[in-house]
Amino acid sequence: MVLVIVTMLVTFLFQTLSHVLTVRLTILRQIATFQQGAIQEFWFRYSTSGLIADYPDIENNHVFTGDKQHFSGLTTTALNSDAGVPVPFGWFLVQENQQNELRYQTQAETWTILTWSDDSYLSSFQYLDKEGHWVEQWPPKQFGITPPQLPEAIMLIAKRNQHIITWVVAVSALRSPKADLRLREF
């Protein structure tokens, strides 16, 4: 009788231990996923929030442009450079082999930041104009009006772990380049 009770108790303890370990692994996986998602979002927000306007009249300028699948410009908060140094960069949404990718690119390298496999969902970038309207291309084509070089905000709509994500980043820089104080030959 005692042997039966001890056996049942040991079986119960091992089943409980197995359940606790399964729950622990699930929680650790979720924490890792959340942490990875937070890092991905931080990288996007950090580099995008550092956008600055460039001089449009110089050769090889990096004036901000964007459409549904990419945007590029000049940032002072590049992921692979010292903060405060203007660096040309871009974010791209790429579809290859039924895989969607969010890529960060500078002149030196390209990084894949986010990957998801669902070709039925269309991801995109959108740009907020000064009237509060989201547009799919920057600069927007407006008759007779020259828009500022930078939008008010940039929005990314994509997927992470089969969930739709929306990241909105306010652009805090001047919308047009500062006064041109470069020396010129006359």
Q: What is the pLDDT of residues 161-183, one digit of tens each?
A: 677 888 999 988 765 666 665 55
Q: Judge whether residue 141 has pLDDT over 90.
A: no
Comparing 97 with 70, the larger pLDDT belongs to: 70
State mean pLDDT over 142-155: 82
What is the secondary structure of the chain as a DSSP string? -HHHHHHHHHHHHHHHHHHHHHHHHHHHHHHHHHHHHHHHHHHHHHHHHTEE---TTSTT----EE-SSEEEEEESS-TTS-TTS-EEEEEEEEEETTEEEEEEEESS-EEEEEEE--TTS--EEEEE-TTS-EESSBS---TT----SS-SEEEEEEEETTEEEEEEEE--S-SSPPP-------
pLDDT tens digit sequence for 45-64: 899 988 988 877 778 888 89
Give the residue extent of every domain in the chain: 45-170
Average pLDDT of the segment spanning 69-79: 90
